[in-house]
Amino acid sequence: MAATFFHQLVAGLNGLGIDVPSFGSSRIFGKLPSTRLFFNSSHHKLHPVLASISHASAVDPTSSHSISHDSSTESTLILIRHGESMWNEKNLFTGCCDVPLTKRGVEEAIEAGKRISYIPVDLIFTSGLIRAKMTAMLAMTQHQEKKVPIIVHNESEQATLWSGVYSEKTTKQSIPVITTWQLNERMYGDLQGLNKKETAEKYGKEQVHEWRRSYDISPPNGESLEMCSRRAVAYFKDFIEPHLESGKHVMVAAHANSLRSIIMYLDRLTSQEKQVTSLELSTGVPLLYIYKEGKFSSRGSPVGPTEAGVYAYTQNLAIYRQQLDEMSH
């Protein structure tokens, strides 16, 4: 009976452990940013932060505190634009400048965490900018699994070694966070640091609107949405989507334009469609997608952790929530 119950659960839901094929399986690790994320050459083993992913038998599948993996069911993708930054507050063009969150931005990130607190998360990707990393970290403080997000440092072999976690128990209670510049906000070139209102007064509202909302026109010495889309979508397809295919549940914390680019891909929008340039993403508001059989289905924004509608999207998410509730008692 227990085996039947767990067989119904969504792909990759892992409760207190991860039950997947061993490291080296192309089904899960066919495409990764760097092998240094997982392999410590000094000790000839996986990066300790991600070591639990390789333990196929880390958790007894018949245990009442474990959730099994069935790759035939769906996985979840959460997209979150960072909370309000200090330059958002000042109405400045931010782009790739590395600016932290405001107090309001911190509160938005925490509120986003409450909205997704019962949605499973196995792996987190963020941009390389502090506002996105802060948002992901703060959101996870609200998650019902109480796992700790740990940024994976793969800048060098020494960084990988020094950031190692050598407790199997602690590793199982951790979520890897992979940061990458490809998910950064688009680079606004000569506009970065300028006040948006003053810039519109200087160059004209129509010109500034064209720089900000057109698909293939870039601001002076900056990126267009098309240029941002090329790097963000390529990264998503190569390094994030394979995890969803394997049954992992992924959260991406990034920016208005890098997320707009990914949503174009998920919703199969063309550059000519008005939704692309008119799509507004509020700070700190999560968006939920379900991945099943190679297709993404938008489920909008979870409205809150106690709302039944959040879990009506898929029966498996409701089962997952029930399982977490039972583990907490």
Task: Say how far apart CA 180 and CA 58 lie, in whole Å.
Answer: 29
Query: Known binding site for substrate: residues?
Result: 81-88, 94-95, 131, 185-188, 196, 212-213
Query: How long a stretch of residues is the chain?
Result: 329
Given the residues 82, 143, 153, 249, the one annotated as active site: 82
* Backbone φ/ψ region at 294: left (φ over 0), alpha (ψ -120 to 50), beta: left
Any catalytic annotation for residue 210? no
Given the residues 74, 145, 185, 223, the one annotated as active site: 185
Secondary structure in 3-state letters for the chain: CHHHHHHCCCCCCCCCCCCCCCCCCHHHHCCCCCHHHCEECCCCEECHHHHHHHCCCCCCCCCCCCCCCCCCCCEEEEEEECCCEHHHHCCECCCCCCCCECHHHHHHHHHHHHHCCCCCCCEEEEECCHHHHHHHHHHHCCCCCCCEEEECCCCCHHHHHHCCCCCHHHHHCEEEEEEEHHHCCCCCHHHCCCEHHHHHHHHCHHHHHHHHHCCCCCCCCCCCHHHHHHHHHHHHHHHHHHHHHCCCCEEEEECHHHHHHHHHHHCCCCCCCHHHHHCCCCCCCEEEEEEECCEEEECCCCCCCCCHHHHCCCHHHHHHHHHHHHHHC
Nearest residue to 179 via CA among 231, 139, 126, 133: 126
Task: Say how far apart CA 186 and CA 68 lie, in whole Å.
Answer: 39
Query: Known binding site: residues?
Result: 81-88, 94-95, 131, 185-188, 196, 212-213
Any catalytic annotation for residue 55? no
Give CA separation, 143 vs 111, 135, 152, 168, in Å. Answer: 11, 13, 20, 21
Known catalytic residues?
A: 82, 185
